[in-house]
């Protein structure tokens, strides 16, 4: 099964948390989370963003606090999806994003020959 490599992880963190972050992990690094400030848009708007690497880096979850920004939920999701499509083109969003959710999760696309 595919996992996010250390190099890919570093690119993701550098893209989304450019101003630095704090990190913590549990279960011998099978679940790691990073907390920092997402910095995007022409106005360089920032909002708190948590990035979780779950299941031994098989999935990645983004969670943000929307009351810190004037950008809409769809704009934030669009930015995250767009950046992830460039950084990790072999990942896709997991499940449908509910209307009141402030999270988006990505997982690797299933391969036909994978067991």
- 59 forms bridges with which residues in the sheet? 54, 107
CA atoms of 44 and 61, how far apart (whole Å): 22
CA atoms of 64 and 5, how far apart (whole Å): 23
The pLDDT tens digits for 23-76 are 877 665 556 789 998 877 666 667 889 999 877 788 999 999 877 667 788 888
DSSP 8-43: HHHHHHHHH-TT-EEEEEETTTTEEEEEEEEEETTT
The pLDDT tens digits for 93-102 are 977 676 678 8
Per domain, the residue ranges of the chain are 6-108
Residue 115 reports pLDDT greater than 50: no
The pLDDT value given to residue 60: 93
**DSSP at 75:** H
Task: Output the six-digit token pair for 89.
Answer: 């083109």
Cα–Cα distances in Å, from 62 out to 8, 15, 20, 79, 114?
15, 13, 16, 12, 26
């Amino acid at each position: 099964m595919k996992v996010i490599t250390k190099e890919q992880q570093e690119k993701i963190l550098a893209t989304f948390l450019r101003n630095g972050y704090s990190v913590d992990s549990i279960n011998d690094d099978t679940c790691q989370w990073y907390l920092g400030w997402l910095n995007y848009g022409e106005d360089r708007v920032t909002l708190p963003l948590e990035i979780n690497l779950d299941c031994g880096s098989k999935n990645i979850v983004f969670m943000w606090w929307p009351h810190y920004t004037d950008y809409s939920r769809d704009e934030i999701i669009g930015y995250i999806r767009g950046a992830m499509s460039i950084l990790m083109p072999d990942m896709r969003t997991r499940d449908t994003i509910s209307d009141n959710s402030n999270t988006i999760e990505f997982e690797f696309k299933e391969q036909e020959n994978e067991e």
